[in-house]
């Protein structure tokens, strides 16, 4: 079946612009996660959704970052006034709520802020 998809796959933007990243989880997966991975680094947790609610936003790096999810499906991660340090791969994952240890990742969005 279809896996997790993300768009765009690559995004180059200028410092100060806003970007919106999209994630389409596996159908029926109520849990959705966003991570950031800088070059050569590990995964950094940003936020997760249980249904359309985000109980834990503690990983968002600053108030320039926000995320939402609708219809227990698509999620968007928005970065306002991008900075060069925002350059990274943004990974989305989804899972069944009862099996959140088994997360299925999308291919990621590679963001480069010039």
Total number of residues shown for the chain = 114
The residue (of 75 and 103) whose beta carbon lies closer to another protein is: 103
CA distance 50 to 2: 21
State the nearest-atom distance from the C-beta of 21 to another protein, in Å. 14
45-84 positions binding another protein, by CB under 8 A:
45, 48, 50, 55-56
The answer to whether 25 and 75 have CB atoms below 8 angstroms apart is yes
CA distance 95 to 50: 10
Residue 103 lies near another protein (rule: CB under 8 A): yes
Tokens representing 92 are 């989305």
Residue choice 19, 31, 88, 111 for contact with another protein (CB under 8 A) = 31
Residue 1 lies near another protein (rule: CB under 8 A): no
State the nearest-atom distance from the C-beta of 56 to another protein, in Å. 7
CA distance 58 to 66: 11
Residue 25 lies near another protein (rule: CB under 8 A): no
């Amino acid at each position: 079946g279809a896996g997790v998809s993300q768009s765009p796959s690559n995004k180059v933007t200028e410092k100060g612009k806003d970007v919106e990243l999209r994630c389409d989880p596996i159908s029926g997966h109520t849990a959705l996660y966003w991570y950031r991975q800088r070059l050569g680094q590990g995964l950094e947790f940003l936020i997760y959704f249980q249904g359309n609610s985000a109980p834990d936003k503690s990983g968002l790096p600053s108030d320039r970052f926000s995320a939402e999810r609708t219809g227990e499906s698509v999620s968007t991660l928005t970065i306002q006034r991008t900075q060069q340090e925002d350059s990274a791969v943004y990974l989305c994952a989804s899972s069944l709520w009862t099996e959140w240890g088994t997360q299925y990742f999308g291919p990621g969005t590679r963001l480069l802020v010039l």
